[in-house]
Amino acid sequence: MASASLLKSSPIIEKSEWVKGAALRHPSASVAARSHPATSLAVRAASSYADELVKTAKTIASPGRGILAMDESNATCGKRLASIGLENTEANRQAYRTLLVTAPGLGNYVSGAILFEETLYQSTTDGRKMVDVLLTQNIVPGIKVDKGLVPLAGSNDESWCQGLDGLASRSAAYYQQGARFAKWRTVVSIPNGPSALAVKEAAWGLARYAAISQDNGLVPIVEPEILLDGDHGIERTFEVAQKVWGEVFFYLAENNVMFEGILLKPSMVTPGAECKEKATPEQVAEYTLKLLHRRIPPAVPGIMFLSGGQSEVEATLNLNAMNQGPNPWHVSFSYARALQNTCLKTWGGRPEKVKEAQEALLVRAKANSLAQLGKYTGEGESEESKQGMFVKGYTY
């Protein structure tokens, strides 16, 4: 959790710029910066990983490609397996993840894969290291490093993300194992406020994680998810996301995070899942791009959107709408369920269905590749791919 000075309840201050706030939130850092103006910058500039971080981020943010998020915890992976009648065993998890990483030609559409720790150290069913298989497909291996959400004391039934303790040593080990980027997910709930405390905690945690990741050679994916839960309209989502993103980039700057060496994984600006007024892809694109231009510096190489419970087709249509004109960033995808849902159901745990399931994965990956290029039409999509996947209070 954030330091005591950060956790003082106060209204969120609107920022006119993404690197400069109306007031500093933690006086100790302010005093240190005034006393030693060059210290923190000198440390950051001397990072031996700086060039590599930029290169990795640009590789992931390459035209027509995005990220496959396959970092579900063992418990969540178990829920997915249970949906097709399989027991949650390491062998079954290994079989499914092998299916994903060995899909022929996946690297044409996917530039990075986020792994759970088990998978990073795991081999495929035929004995090859998962990391090596990804590299042969020109896919950068990544790793989920947060330790999940827990209740945030003093908040309005909100949460905070744990995992900073020991993160530096874990990140160094993950780098040695072949990971080159990391992912940390925290969430903000609109129906529960969000309180200034929860927003500040989320932003500070993401910033500390990002700084630690870069110090250990991992490009941090910064993921401030605005949950779809609620019946609020798209304007309310925009208002909250504007505050959250402003807070996040304020603290990233305070922690001397190099923007050229990060990737942002936000949720799209949509109405709440229970809102009666649904938004068209064009409306989602309009609000989301407006927010990006207001809050995200062009130095950030890639905006890798999460799907957040949207249907496979809905997530692809929205991404396509955002790429109908030029953007200063690579606007792409980092999807889990929106890439895997049909694939998983097609497989059903049956060895004879592996090839067909891989083809289903490639169909979704190719569709989102086209959407990243603004060339997706939505023609020929199955009914299964149009089914929503929103789960209230979703955790993983």
Residue 251 has what DSSP assignment?
H
Question: Looking at 144, 200, 243, 265, which residue is catalytic?
Answer: 265
What whole-number distance in Å separates Cα of residue 296 and Cα of residue 260? 12
**Annotation says 286 is catalytic:** no
Tokens 């305070």, located at residue: 254
Helix, strand or coil for residue 183? strand
Closest CA relative to residue 267, chosen from 165, 323, 180, 335: 335
- φ, ψ (nearest 5 deg) of residue 70: -125, 40
What whole-number distance in Å separates Cα of residue 391 and Cα of residue 177? 34
- φ, ψ (nearest 5 deg) of residue 196: -60, -35
**Annotation says 265 is catalytic:** yes
Tokens standing for residue 331: 């606007």
Question: Looking at 72, 158, 223, 314, which residue is catalytic?
Answer: 223
Q: How many CB atoms lie within 10 A of CB 261?
A: 28
Tokens standing for residue 361: 């994965």
First to last CA, the chain: 20
Work out the angle between the directed axes of helices 196-215 and 234-254 (0-180°, nearest 10). 50
Distances (CA, A) of 216 to 166, 201, 252: 12, 23, 16
State the catalytic residues.
Answer: 223, 265
